Structures are given as C-alpha cells and as structure tokens.
Structure 1
Amino acid sequence: MKRIALIAVILSGFAGAAQANLIKNACMGSDRADGNYALCGCIQDAANRTLTRSDQRLAATFFNNPQRAQEIRQSNRRSHEVFWERYRNFGNAAETFCRS
C-alpha cells in the first residue's frame, strides 16, 4: 500500500511539472518563437511570477489562437477583466525580463 501511495506522489509531481510549462510549451510550438528555447523559458518564468496556473492555461491558448485573446480582452465578464489585468502585467514582465 505504501508503494502505491509513493507512485501516486511521484506521478502527481510529473503532472505538475508538465503543467508548469504550459506557456513555454505553447511558445515553443508557435511559429513566432522560432524554437527559441531560452526566450520561451524566460517567458514561462515571467508567467510563473505573474499568472496563476489557471491563467496560464488560458494564456497558453493564445499562442495558437490569437483571436481568443481578443475575445477575452473585449469580454464584459468581470473574470475576464481581472484576468486581462494580470495578463497585461505578465506581458510587461516578460518584455522587461526577456529582452535580448
């Protein structure tokens, strides 16, 4: 029984690590990043400092669907307004930290 619990803890750590790189993975997969691992890693670091995991899940969708970002930005939902404020802070942080 202890062995099963240990395996579950190890696997949950892997799932958390994979989710922790949502922005970096989306960045690496986009045509705009051109496979720049260092840049995408820096952008992920900025996301980790400014966005919740939930925010990161939503923001990662913008890399493949920029129209989604526009829809969220123009939305009248309060949750989208609050998200967009955090997203702007993320963008400013990424721009400051990740300049080449």
Structure 2
Amino acid sequence: MRIVLFAGLLALMLPSAALAGGTIDKACRATGRAGASLCGCIQSVADQVLSHSDQRRAAKFFADPDKAQEVRLSDSASAEAFWDRYAAFASTAEAVCTGG
C-alpha cells in the first residue's frame, strides 16, 4: 500500500517531461492508445516496482499482448516469478494512474 501512495505522490510531483523516456513510457506511447500523462504515470510506477530488466520485458507486452499470455501460461519458475512482479506492477499502475 505504501508503494502505491508513494508512486501516486511521485507522479503528481514530477512534471510529465521528467517521466517521459523510459522503456514502458515509450512502449505505451507507441501504441497510440494512451496519452503522455498516462504513459508517464505508468512509467513512474514501473520505476518504483520493476527492475530495468523487467521493464524491458514488460514493454514488449504493449506491442504484442500475446507475449504476456505466453509468460502467464509458462511453467518456468523464472516466468512465474516475473509474472507475479508484473501483475503487482499492473495492479499498482491501474490504481495509481486511473484511480481504479
């Protein structure tokens, strides 16, 4: 819960230009389905809860959602661990960035 509050405060305190440019932000913007503010917020949350390596992996999901399904259904321990981290990120980003 603390990380959600912290990420939300961070997103409000930083100008959107400061949030731009991360791996998740770039992938989000490339889809054309979200604006700069939302993509920047999602990047801010990613910076708080995902490693750079996890961010690179998760960014691929924006362009190819089937990759997410492949990871989710994988039986490998590393894929399952990543999926747990990714699911926590996605829930946090939704709560912080959309109020959901």
Q: TM-score, normalised by structure 1?
A: 0.75
Partner of 1:79: 78
Identity of matched residues, %: 47
**Aligned Cα root-mean-square deviation (Å):** 1.2
Partner of 1:62: 61
Query: Which residues in structure 2 correspond to 1:1-100 (within 5 Å)?
Result: 21-33=22-34, 36-99=35-98
SS at match of 1:98: helix
Q: Which stretches in structure 1 are left out of the alignment for 5+ residues?
A: 1-19
Q: TM-score, normalised by structure 2?
A: 0.75
Q: CA deviation at 1:29?
A: 0.3
Partner of 2:9: none
Larger radius of gyration: 1
Deviations 1:50-91 (A, max 9, x none): 111110000000000000000000000100000000001101
Q: CA deviation at 1:99?
A: 1.4
Q: Which stretches in structure 2 are left out of the alignment for 5+ residues?
A: 1-20
Tell which has more relative contact order, 1 or 2 (C-alpha 8 A, sep 6+): 2
Partner of 1:10: none
